[in-house]
Amino acid sequence: MENQVTERRSERGLSQGELAEAVGVTRQTINSIERERYDPSLELAFKLATYFDCRVDDLFDPKLNDE
C-alpha cells in the first residue's frame, strides 16, 4: 500500500524513532510501513492520521483494482 508517512514525518523533522514513540510502536514498524513492506492495522493507521492531522485516505492509498 502506498503511503505518505515518510513525507509527512520529514516535513515535521521527526526521526522514525520519534514518530514510533508518539504512536506507540517500534521504529522498525515505522520503517516497514515507509518501505511499503507492512500495512498498518486500522488502529495504527488512525493513530498516524490523527498524529499528522489528516484523514487516513490522505495518508494511505491502497491502489485497489476496479474489477
Supply the pTM of this predicted model: 0.90
Q: What is the pLDDT of residues 13-56, one digit of tens each?
A: 999 999 999 999 999 999 999 999 999 999 999 999 999 999 99
Question: Please, which pLDDT band fits residue 66 given cuts at 50, 70 and 90?
Answer: low
User: Considering the domain 2-61 in this protein, what is its CATH number?
Assistant: 1.10.260.40
Query: Distances from the Cα of 4 to the Cαs of 28, 48, 66, 67, in angstroms?
Result: 17, 11, 22, 26
Q: What is the CA radius of gyration of the chain?
A: 11
Res 65: pLDDT: 58
- Amino acid 56 reads V
